Structure 1
């Protein structure tokens, strides 16, 4: 049966295509709304690559916007085959008090992890985009999963996260979700997505929003490196700046610093973090 928030969807309401065509999106939104309304702890789990970081940061921003109780965890793993870490689930995600765990570009390593989350009282929403057959007890948001009729299969991790964000925006009747495309384009370009289908739309619209971004972190990078024109070269420069480095601080900690940069509402803090990242790269 069609849900009431699906009926309000209009193609011109939001950039891209109807996210509710993606298999399990209704289930994901119902669980997320329940968590938001009951102030359950939501934890977003992402990887250290720029695609994962941008997806995590943008989802974190929109969940804070709707007043969710949300934290995040960064894993050191990168790549399209990235999966959840069992020790992280036990010692970090559970420690944060997670009742709902949302992954960005990460799948389950084994069914035992699903059982572990169930024992810990953690519900799972897995967002990823690789061909798979298994459909476990977790809620999967995956355009490439078996039985999903969504046409566009080549989205990046942050692209899939944006589909989830679109669904949240439709449910809450938000008209400002496209402003997060400034982060989505950076993540998508770092993942070197094909400039076809929906990716073409996201990249084209993202460029518009990046040029006029009000994200303090992105703006601080542009100002510090004297980026006057936003184009493919300058976006790759931004990607280079926010790619976590292995240093004395540690790759995971640097990734957390980048998330803070991309989500802070403090202009001065954004400028300080940008200077710190510059010094880390030039040690």
Structure 2
């Protein structure tokens, strides 16, 4: 579902306008210049909209890297990418995603990143709480980003399936993901692999702010299910990922330069779509440190 198919809006106490983009996920926030200091009440309203809608979009923003970093830091401590070479030298909290090469013929950022459904840095004991991606140069077609509401996916499951999944844990494995899907890149170093051993997280995750339950599993980074045969666990991962990303639960963002998109990794998944690599693409991302995922039954 894209942003032309759904319309609803409300005004916040700080004077921002929030326009819903789909029934289950996504909203555009209007009335704020992110390159300038943001009042505390506006930050609180942005946080509230982000947690409610899963993804919030700001258009027509002129956002240097330092301003991108400073706005992001309102929402929590920032962490760079595990692969340090993708982080900006003079602003290491900011990660570059790009197909552009330098004078040595090396890519200046992560290219063809995130093209399978995933939640950012789910392979860490404390995965990312949120990510903020800014468009500097965007191809004229393709390179969209799709977002799925894991709240809506969980709510749509039969009650007995929700109960079954609540007792399971997914195995999130970055070195496996890198070897399986990113063979076009320079391999991870032994030190990078050592920083990211597989971790297990609940398949159903309780959102710490809203208390809502969300599926927490994605084809890209969840290798299998703890305690299950690898093949059977992998089949369940793909089945749940496919269920969660059916069109009714998805917002597709068509990028324009100056867009900043801020998503909640605790309640959404996303993936990048393909594009013609003859077009330049340059994006900047910040990542907010999160807490360890947990499952708390409703009413507890």
The normalised TM-score by structure 2 is 0.26
Question: Between Structure 1 and Structure 2, which shows a larger proportion of strand residues?
Answer: 2
Q: Which has the higher contact order (CA 8 A, sep 6+)?
A: 2
Q: Which has the higher helix share?
A: 1
TM normalised by structure 1 equals 0.27
